[in-house]
Structure 1
């Protein structure tokens, strides 16, 4: 697969709290780093996303007495999973994994910083209408095809890719450069959803 100047690699949430030993560790999360670094060398355009939550964020289970991690609650924008507290602003857990190559990135999109709403997608918060500004950034630079890698495959990568497609971009997910949480079958559901939208899921060998 030849990468062009109209393509962009979007590296989703490769942060310490999503890696082994972190507050919300994705199994094998840190194992995406070598693959992402290798693929990233092929791209002229790289964007990073970063979960950036206040300590009193609505999605944190600690802010809901008598609730347990991974319970769901209903908020104004729909169902919300209650997560272990993670990626708190300016904490070491919110930092990018130390092995991740970030020098090539031209933009860092911080998301989830509004207390009352969570944000999985790189494009919209979970109300599906509050934009992050990423779509405008990409359009101004005439970037066409978005390749997604990072954490977690079945949440932030999934919703970012779906929103990219819905916004009119071509989207591709590099599965070997992702890891999933697999909460109640969410990995299988992600594969089904991506297939139904015509979003290709490829391996890293496609780039070499």
Structure 2
């Protein structure tokens, strides 16, 4: 069977860039390599964090709670974040220099007030799907390259769920940046290796196309 490839660009949005509400260190450094990567793929899909103002993950919506504290929810523990990527705001917009015209689809996630979402495939409750897996399967995609922000959170969750859904999955490491809190980056890498997610680079990816 002929393999069909997709590039999945995760959450390259203003609030995750330097100066944003939940900035990833050097987050803007992913834009140029991602634009370069997109030229090597016929199929590009982007994910976009898109939260209502009353979102469960915002510390501001929980009296007496601080950013980075955890709360218990119906779906397990939830880290509390600063307000970020609020639907329709500048912070939720894609980075100006990201070539969004290449995307055939944009998958919005975290759109429900009561459930967070790191993965581009399924919300944190493990049940609410975004439609991304169905889209890829309808297009005949068999291999997925994942890049974007942040390596140890949304990129890792997305890559692992891609592998769980049967896609051959790679993370393009130099087209990602992480937060790396208390060893979270190495923990994410250990986790995705358990799911047979491979690591690659921009140059290696382009050379194989």
Shorter-chain TM band: over 0.9
**Displaced runs of 4 or more, over 6 A:** none
* Alignment correspondent of 1:27: 25
* Alignment correspondent of 1:8: 6
TM-score scaled by length of structure 2: 0.96
1:183 to partner: Cα distance: 2.1
Name the SS of the counterpart of 2:35 in structure 1.
helix
Q: Structure 1: any 5+ residue segments left out of the alignment?
A: none
Name the SS of the counterpart of 1:201 in structure 2.
strand
* Alignment correspondent of 2:183: 185
For the aligned residues, what is the CA RMSD? 1.0
1:173 to 158, 162, 171: 171
91-100 or 184-193: bigger deviation? 184-193
2:38 to 40, 55, 71: 40
1:107 to 101, 105, 108: 105
Name the SS of the counterpart of 1:119 in structure 2.
coil
Could you tell me whether the CA contact under 8 Å between 1:52 and 1:88 is conserved in 2? Answer: yes
For residues 117-154 of structure 1, the C-alpha deviation after alignment (integer angstroms, 9 at most, x for no partner) is 00110000001111001111111110110100000100
1:5 to partner: Cα distance: 7.1
TM-score scaled by length of structure 1: 0.96
1:205 to partner: Cα distance: 1.7
1:118 to 116, 119, 133: 116
Instruction: Map 1:145-184 to 2 at 5 A.
Output: 145-184=143-182
* Alignment correspondent of 2:89: 91
Q: Distance in 2 between matches of 1:17 and 1:65?
A: 23
Pair 1:64-2:72 in alignment: no
Q: Distance in 1 between matches of 2:182 and 2:76?
A: 18
Could you tell me whether the CA contact under 8 Å between 1:54 and 1:115 is conserved in 2? Answer: yes
Q: Distance in 2 between matches of 1:60 and 1:88?
A: 10
Name the SS of the counterpart of 2:175 in structure 1.
strand
The number of equivalent residue pairs is 205
Q: Distance in 2 between matches of 1:88 and 1:184?
A: 27
Q: Structure 2: any 5+ residue segments left out of the alignment?
A: none
